[in-house]
Amino acid sequence: MRINKISVTKLFGIFNHPVSFNMEDRITIIHGPNGFGKTALLRIINGFFNSRYSELRSIPFAEFRVDFSNGTHLLITKSIDAQTIENEKDKELTFQFVQPGLKTKTYSSSLAVDLKPNGLGLSIIEDIVPGLERIAHTTWLYLATQEKLSLEDVWQRFGNFLPENLATVKKEPKWLSEIQSSIDVRFIEVQRLLSLSGVPKAQVQRRRPSMMPSVDTYPQELAEDIKTKLAEYGALSQSLDRTFPARVVNNKAPLELTEETLRKKLNEIEEKRSRLIETGLLDKDEYPDFQVEKHIDGTTKNILSVYVQDVENKLMLFKELATKIELFKRIIKQRFLYKNMSISKDKGFTFTTADGKPLSPTDLSFGEQHELVMLYQLLFKVQPNSLVLIDEPEISLHVAWQVQFLKDLQEIIKLANFDVLVVTHSPDIINDRWDLTVELQGPVE
């Protein structure tokens, strides 16, 4: 199921915006004057699918509709009085899920998070979560983004770090949760150079999370992904090695597997290994060159046919990650002049200057950091069939990089298979693809 249209009525009390998605190209670009609600649309989508209901309450609108590719639609409405109520917990949201031929499902929600009577003091929130400054009894200023967050906001964003006995969370109906989980939504916000780092409370040893530059946290994330894939590779190798003798004895090499075909497959395997070494997924000295005698007799052919099949299965584990790393390296190489990026299982990605000196990612320019963060998130943090919301991708990017943005994005989408909704002020981002755009209009007189 995919989203094919969104629409909002009375946004900020005056705007009505319908936005139809480009289903074939999978990229939709929203543009329009400042103050027309471009970012607000992204925040509403993110607010619903990631259960940030206080975000929905804080943005003034009367009705928001999401149309899905299977003919169903979701309607989010606020009570008439909600537009003038200042206290967020008193603003009631109503969710209606309409399925043709079936009864409409309805759910109304007030504030979804409440303090427990005997819960811990709220000051513990500031002690655990960095960057939060309490400005009212249940309101915090998030210094990283300068947002005012309610208790509900704090719980939704940082609840995995907070004690469970601090608050109670109102449960939603199953059908609503299923809609929210049907589409994974990732919001790449304007503030994307900082991210929260820490260990979820589900783990035995907890440590205080901290705000860190994203370009410092992502290398270690990539290193962990590589190590996880190597562990899968090792487990499969052990399993295949244990059964190799028995499978060789019982193997009947296919008659169509000629000596020429077998040699071709062996060469292809060596090429794949070379690619994996180049991407940093395998060590250079892990596999010596494998040479086969000029003539392959029947016994050798039988052994090699099992060997080839095993190696192909093992190397297939790396295919998706290797393809993403190759594209990541290629785009970075084209953009970052006089700098080199390397990938390894221990450090993820690292940089060196043109003369070979180590370069910290935080010493990259802001434009380079924005490019790096967006590329990394799109390639390594987005699930297939997701909806990615990108707010102002042009920030700090040179005009030439802005012009290339859509081309890079199309290549990533082709590889990773997701939809993108972009908000931009830059005609250079759009370049020659005005067919992908939706212009937000002013209020009808």
Of 196, 204, 253, 255, give the one whose Cα is nearest residue 221.
196
Split at pLDDT 50, 70, 90, the class of 205 is very low
Number of domains forming the structure of the chain: 3
Separation CA 359–CA 347 (nearest Å) = 13
The amino acid occupying position 391 is: D
> Is 8 in a helix, a strand, or coil?
strand
Which CATH number fits the domain that encloses residue 436? 3.40.50.300
Is the predicted pLDDT of residue 420 greater than 80, yes or no?
yes
Q: Is the model's pLDDT at 327 over the cut of 60?
A: yes
Token code pair at residue 387: 């909806």
Asked which of 304, 319, 334 is the last residue of a domain, the reply is 319
Is it the case that residue 202 has pLDDT exceeding 50?
Answer: no
Question: Which pLDDT band holds residue 126 (cuts at 50, 70, 90)?
Answer: confident
3-state secondary structure at position 368:
helix
Domain membership flag for residue 391: yes
The span from the CA of 106 to the CA of 86, in Å, is 25
Judgement on whether residues 147 and 286 belong to the same structural domain of the protein: no
The amino acid at 432:
D
CB 95 within 8 A of CB 107: yes
Indicate the average pLDDT of the chain.
87
- pLDDT band (50, 70, 90) for residue 210: low
Of 83 and 406, the structure prediction assigns the larger pLDDT to: 406
- Same-domain check for residues 57 and 176: yes
Q: 172-176: long-range contacts at Cβ-Cβ below 8 A with a sequence spacing of 24 or more?
A: 172/51, 172/107, 172/109, 172/112, 173/105, 173/107, 175/97, 175/105, 176/95, 176/97, 176/105, 176/107
**70 lies in the same domain as 175:** yes
Tell which residue, 415, 417, 338, 372, has the closest CA to residue 221.
372
The reported pLDDT for the residue numbered 171 is 77
Q: What is the pLDDT of residue 206?
A: 43
* Residues 28 and 92 placed together within one structural domain of the fold: yes
Residue 430 lies in a domain: yes
pLDDT category at 139 given cuts 50, 70, 90 is: confident
The reply to whether 157 and 94 lie within a common domain is no
| Amino acid at position 111, single letter | L
- DSSP assigned state of 166: G
Take residue 272 and report the two structure tokens written for it: 């794949």
Residue 416 phi/psi, 5° resolution?
A: -100, -15
DSSP codes, 96-157: EEE-TTSPPEEEEES-SEEE-TTPPPTHHHHHHSTTEEEEETTEEEETTTTEEEEHHHHHHH
The residue among 272, 294, 292, 274 whose CA lies nearest residue 284 is 274
Residues 129 and 165 in one domain: yes
| CA–CA separation, 372 and 275 (whole Å) | 22
> Does 37 share its domain with 178?
yes
Looking at the structure, tell me whether residues 60 and 152 fall in a common domain.
no
The Cα–Cα gap between 179 and 176 comes to: 5
Domain boundary among 269, 301, 319: 319
Query: At what angle are helices 319-335 and 399-416 packed, to 10 degrees?
Result: 170
Residue 396: Cβ-neighbour burial (10 angstroms; 0-12, 13-18, 19+)? middle
Structural Rg of the chain based on CA atoms: 26
Nearest to 378 by CA among 403, 333, 330, 412: 412
Residue 341 falls inside a structural domain:
no
Q: Provide the terminal-to-terminal Cα distance of the chain, rounded to the nearest Å.
A: 37
Average pLDDT (196-210) is 46
For residue 204, is pLDDT > 50?
A: no
pLDDT digits (tens, 9 = 90+) for 47-95: 999 988 878 888 999 999 999 999 999 999 987 554 454 554 456 899 9
In this predicted structure, the answer to whether residue 431 has a pLDDT above a threshold of 80 is: yes
15 and 58 in a common domain: yes
Residue 351 lies in a domain: no
pLDDT (tens digit per residue) in 365-405: 999 999 999 999 999 999 999 999 999 999 999 999 999 99
Q: What's the angle, vertex CA 326, arms to CA 324 and CA 332, rounded to 5? A: 100
**Mean pLDDT value across residues 135-162:** 80
Judge contact between 169 and 155, C-beta under 8 A.
yes
**Angle, helices 214-250/366-376, rounded to nearest 10 degrees:** 40
Q: Angle, nearest 10°, between helix axes 214-250 and 298-316?
A: 150
pLDDT at 217 over 70: yes
- Count CB neighbours of 1 within 10 A: 12
Q: What is the C-alpha to C-alpha distance for residues 388 and 27, in angstroms, rounded to an integer? A: 10
The half-sphere exposure of 240 on its side-chain side, counting CA atoms within 13 A, is: 16
CA atoms within 13 Å, Cβ hemisphere of 206: 11
The answer to whether the Cα torsion of 416, 418, 423, 426 is positive or negative is positive
Per-residue model confidence (pLDDT) at position 285 = 62
Q: Which domain holds residue 246?
A: 218-319
Same-domain pairing of 151 and 176? no
155 and 294 part of one domain: no
Give the pLDDT mean for 20-40: 97
270-318 tens-digit pLDDT: 899 999 999 999 987 655 555 666 677 777 888 888 999 999 999 999 9
- Which residue(s) pair with 98 in the sheet? 73
DSSP tag of 40: H
**Quick one: what percent of the chain has pLDDT higher than 90?**
63
Helix, strand or coil, per DSSP, at residue 95: strand
Q: Which has more confidence, 288 or 416? A: 416
Q: Are residues 27 and 123 in the same domain?
A: no
pLDDT at 199: 40
Q: Would you state the pLDDT for residue 256?
A: 59
Q: Which helix (H) or strand (E) holds 64?
A: strand 63-68
Per DSSP, the three-state class of 296 is coil
Distances (CA, A) of 224 to 125, 230, 344: 29, 10, 10
